[in-house]
Amino acid sequence: MTAIGFVGLGAMGSRIAGRLLTAGHEVYGTNRTAARAASLVERGLAWRETPREVAEVASIVFSMVTDDAALEAITSGADGLLAGLSAGKIWVDMSTVSPAASVTLAERASALGSAMLDAPVSGSVHEAEDGRLTIMVGGEEDAFAAVEPLLRELGPVVRHIGANGQGLRLKLALNISLAAQMLAFSEGALLAERGGIARELAVEVMAESAIGSPFLRGRAPLVLDLPDEAWFDVELAHKDIRLALETAEREELPLPSAALADEWLTTATSLGYGHHDIASLFTVMAQSSRRLQSPAEPKRAEPSTSGSKGPDA
């Protein structure tokens, strides 16, 4: 088996690395917080102290972090991932970051004789655990062909989208729809409930109807009982929406659904739901409507923000 590296063993990265271990691959890894990788080390992951050390020992290096700043932190400097790359190696970044930042890193990797692919995923922790991710890849076709068999161990849908940054652009396009779906579903369920229809019944029928996408069917139970651990939290969803808006602004492209989602995700964060699942938009909308109806009504206690940060959907 090819030696594989993995930098960023958070909620999603740890599960993806775990699947590679289960498949019998030799996996080297590191993470900002070493304790989060303890269970993987017990399963056979070879721990390394820095991203550079991971890149030096592996032929194919995966990375998955939360945003542009985190990606810059793991790639730059004497201990960064780029310092460990050399000719012939392939770097697969599965983070959801700005296409422009990813393209710049691809150019830096190319100058070292390595190929870099952006390969963001659609799916949450459950899909990652079960190998049901959808993976969108941007970058050189030869590099894609070399890693495609590995990617297919992580999900049944693996598509080469185009040049560097194109996988990320499609991921941002997809997440606009996720946010818009959650908003529309929430306002529809709230309209039904305010008219005397039981929330459980409204949510069940809506999820089973023509509008019931896989995303909404999965989120319907969370509208009824919001979990402590997010599948895809508000802060990460908001980050993706803002990346889409920033990308579109440079091209003078209007994104009305994304703009509306930006407003509601901002409200959700202000009410303390930043680390809760995006399904919390229903609760946020319900609370906001009560405040509009009764300005003097005491504000409900804000929910705990102790839930784990969710992954990219």
Q: What is the pLDDT confidence band of residue 229, given thresholds at 50, 70 and 90?
A: confident
Letter string b/e over residues 208-243, b meaning 16 or more CB atoms within 10 A of that residue's CB: eeeebeebbebbbebbeebeeebbbbbbbbbbbbbb
pLDDT at 206 over 70: yes
pLDDT confidence of residue 1 = 64
Q: Do domains 3-162 and 169-293 have the same CATH topology?
A: no
pLDDT confidence of residue 291 = 63
CATH code that applies to domain 3-162: 3.40.50.720
Q: Where are the domains of the chain?
A: 3-162, 169-293
pLDDT tens track for 271-292: 999 999 999 999 999 998 876 5
Q: What is the pLDDT confidence band of residue 143, given thresholds at 50, 70 and 90?
A: very high
Residue 105 or residue 300, greater confidence: 105
pLDDT confidence of residue 312 = 43
pLDDT confidence of residue 268 = 96
pLDDT confidence of residue 292 = 53
pLDDT confidence of residue 289 = 80
Pick the CATH number of 169-293 from 3.40.50.300, 1.10.1040.10, 3.40.50.150, 1.10.4190.10: 1.10.1040.10
pLDDT tens track for 237-264: 999 999 999 999 999 999 999 999 999 9
The pLDDT of 148-164, averaged and rounded, is 97
pLDDT confidence of residue 293 = 54
pLDDT confidence of residue 165 = 97
pLDDT confidence of residue 126 = 87
The pLDDT of 184-203, averaged and rounded, is 96
pLDDT at 9 over 90: yes
The percent of residues above 90 in pLDDT, for the chain, comes to: 88
pLDDT confidence of residue 148 = 98
pLDDT tens track for 39-64: 999 999 999 999 999 999 999 999 99
Question: Residue type at 94?
Answer: M
Q: What is the pLDDT confidence band of residue 68, given thresholds at 50, 70 and 90?
A: very high
pLDDT tens track for 105-124: 999 999 999 999 999 999 98
pLDDT confidence of residue 12 = 94
**62-71, 190-199, 227-236, range with the lowest pLDDT:** 227-236
Residue 300 or residue 104, greater confidence: 104
